[in-house]
Chain A
Amino acid sequence: MLFGFEWDTSGPLVFAVSILPILLVGMWVTIQATVLGFFVALVLGLLWAVLKAAPSRLISWPATVFTEFLRDTPLLVQLFFLYYVLPEFGIILPAFMTGALALGLQYSAYTSEVYRAGLEAIGPDQREAARALNLPAVRTFTHVIIPQAVPRIVPAMGNYLVSIMKDVPVLSVVTVLEMLNVGRIIGDRTFNYLIPLSMVGGLYLIMTLVASAALRLLDTRLPKQGIPLK
């Protein structure tokens, strides 16, 4: 029994049907971790991108070093660090939160590069036109640069969303009951790994296919010239 659901090992099909609700609970945790991790990556990535573009090296250099560090060390190392070291400094977060934070941190290093490329793709023409019209810098950023950068950023961000989803099983090592961990526990207790782990793979495939299709749809819907302003 897990999450209040009993499994029935009398036949392969009934076994599969009986553990499906349990796996779906795990899948829901996976989705939550993905969404939260992605959100953290989007917010922190923008922060790093802005800091790295800062005119002062005192700001841009530490930001560059830090994101390089995030990118070049394994997710598992960062996760262990947050999970085992932070409590020594009195910061105790639930395993799920720690895991989502670790995912978001590592991926923020990647998303900051996507932001940077997207912002740089808007050529000097647009900034010069805004300057000639005396538009304030903040207004230029929010109403001229960002709306045009978004369609260039979305496809790459979508790829990272799917990557984060596929990295969620790493959180199982710090006891998060995401889908893979749930499937493994079922295997441990029933001595049948084939069916639960195959189902985890299948459910993962469905999730990534759905996410990719949704992202493609979003991408085709976004006007290439930018978010329209009437």
Chain B
Amino acid sequence: MTDTIIRFDKVVKRFGDVTVLNELDFSVQRGEKVSIIGPSGSGKSTVLRILMTLEGIEGGVVSINGEPLWHEGPDLKPASEAHLRKMRAQLGMVFQSFNLFPHMTVLRNITEAPVKVLGLSRAEAQSRANDLLELVGLTDQAAKYPHQLSGGQQQRVGIARALAMRPNILLFDEPTSALDPELVGEVLTVIAKLAEEHDLTMLLVTHEMRFAREISDRVLFFDQGRICEEGTPEELFTAPVQDRTREFLGSILKEA
């Protein structure tokens, strides 16, 4: 029996006259690690932003664990804020530019939502945060402010902050694109460790092809708001079927 955790069913997303997602269909299985690659403007990040409820949709249905995300009830009314809050609890997001709260210490960044949203005591939240800081290798940085950390360290705090809410699904929106090249590795190492050791479902939008190949169960190649090609990393990277995929991979590998 398959266990589908995310399903997009003919999802349409427009920004003004521009159709970003054009009747997009795809699904992700529980625990699956899926990378999304493709040229900029192909709608990759939009998929994550729709899942995180940062962007609404114009058509189709998005389901999480079989329950519509942007709709509710048998007649699929548009979702209320209460419904979105409930659904959102299953997801976590790591942002391209980290989006840490600059006026909060690292510890407070990680404990703020668990205390205020999940109702944990400050002590519980702090012990959870300390475990997570250990996981991302930042045990001694809890009292610092984001601006006192390197970009790589900030992004690892971003990962810890998302994990502190215990999501079932973790979304990575180009997590290393804003980093200096020498800092990319430390973030990827943490993500790889999560992928290996946790049964989290992970959706990763990335330009790091080698990394996508290493950690993914499946890779989706997006082009013009649709999935142009998908397959195991082996299939997609070594024997792409579509011309568009070959062209894209060729241009990326030339850059690298």
Contacts and interface: CB of A to CB of B under 8 A. Distances in A.
B116 A228 contact: no
A229 B199 CA distance: 33
Contact of A133 (B113, B143, B145): B113
Contacts, number: 73
B161 A133 contact: yes
B168 to A, nearest CB: 14
A143 interface: yes
Contact of A225 (B97, B117, B143, B147): B147
Contact of B116 (A126, A136, A148, A226): A136
Contacts of B113: 133-135
Contacts of B108: 229-230
Contacts of A79: none
A57 interface: no
Find the residue from A128, A131, A133, A230 having the highest chain B CB count within 10 A: A133
Contact of B95 (A125, A136, A147, A230): A125
Nearest to B164: A133
A161 B116 CA distance: 36
Contacts of A132: 52, 54, 88, 91-93, 95, 162
B89 A134 contact: yes
Interface stretch (B7-15, B99-107, B132-140, B233-241): B99-107
Interface residues of A, number: 22
B53 interface: yes
Contacts of A12: none
B165 A126 contact: no
Q: Which of A134, A226, A228 has the most C-beta atoms of chain B within 10 angstroms of its own C-beta?
A: A134
Nearest to A137: B81
A179 interface: no
A223 interface: yes
Interface in B63-120: 85, 88-89, 91-93, 95, 97, 99-105, 107-108, 112-113, 116-117
Interface of A: 125-126, 128-129, 131-136, 139, 143-144, 147-148, 223, 225-230
20 contacts: A125-B95, A128-B52, A128-B54, A131-B52, A131-B54, A132-B88, A132-B93, A132-B95, A132-B162, A133-B113, A133-B162, A133-B165, A136-B116, A148-B103, A223-B103, A225-B103, A226-B103, A229-B105, A230-B105, A230-B108
